Amino acid sequence: MPVKKVDKRDIIKASLRVFRQKGYHSTTMSDIAAACGLLKGSIYHHFEGKEDLMLQTIDFLHSYYSREVFSIAHDESLTGLEQLDKLAAISEEIFMKEKGGCLMANIGLETANDYPRFRVRIKAYFEEWIQSLEHIFRKAYDAQTAREIAEFSVAEIEGAVMLMQVYHDKCYLERAHQHIKKQFIAALQQQERPAAKSVNGEKVQIKRSIEENKEI
């Protein structure tokens, strides 16, 4: 029987599916090998062990999100609302399609106390996510408020993903995204109101000046 050719990237992609569904502690190297169609010993040609494989899987996933997802927040050809719409669409596509929810959150909760190297990398992933949303929200809020709402938004999305998995209902995630966008729209509209009042005030002042000049 011909030997199946699988490179390091293929093993990591297969590991993503297995870790997402079974978690870190319940996954064995035999599970990974079976998902790749390899003998277990073949995995060790590329990775020192399960911990090394998990670290590289986290790095691979973070790199993907940085390149394909978080970068949307810095696409200045889009409005803030368009950026949020695009991020929401990708988020729903990923979390609704893949079984097991959010790998980063799952592994973070499962291993935070036992594997500090996992925690550091997972924290970096969430920090970049928060900073991406913060960059968008600065269009409508001051710096501190933008940061706070970005943190709340990530927490809201992650909570929605968990409920979506428990209830098998995608509406939780859709509603979370809608709520975040509604808040952003309301903040933008609030920004515009003082400007409108200022403009009206200037018009009144100009009118008064004209009337005063007439009297002179």
Please indicate, yes or no, if residue 164 is contained in any of the structural domains.
yes
Its pTM surpasses 0.75 = yes
Instruction: Sort residue 4 into left (φ over 0), alpha (ψ -120 to 50) or beta.
Output: beta
In this structure, the answer to whether residues 97 and 157 fall within a common structural domain is yes
For residues 40 and 92, membership in a common domain is answered with: no
**Residue 77: inside a domain, yes or no?**
yes
Query: What residue numbers bound the domain in which 12 lies?
Result: 1-54
Pair 136, 172 in one domain: yes
| pLDDT surpasses 80 at 105 | yes
pLDDT for res 25: 96
Helix (H, G, I), strand (E, B) or coil at 208: helix
Q: Does 207 map to a domain?
A: no
Please indicate, yes or no, if residue 216 is contained in any of the structural domains. Answer: no
Calpha distance 216→214 (Å, rounded): 5
Q: Give the residue with greater pLDDT, 212 vs 50.
A: 50
* Among candidate residues 132, 147, 146, the one with its CA nearest the CA of residue 67: 132
Statement to judge: residues 151 and 46 lie in one domain? no
CATH number, domain at 113?
Answer: 1.10.357.10
pLDDT (average), residues 9-34: 95
Residue 122 and residue 18 share a domain: no
Position 210 in a domain: no
Same domain membership, residue 81 and residue 41: no
Residue 195 pLDDT? 53
Count of domains observed in the chain: 2
pLDDT, tens only, 66-94: 999 999 999 999 999 999 999 999 999 99
Phi, psi of 179 (to 5 degrees): -65, -45
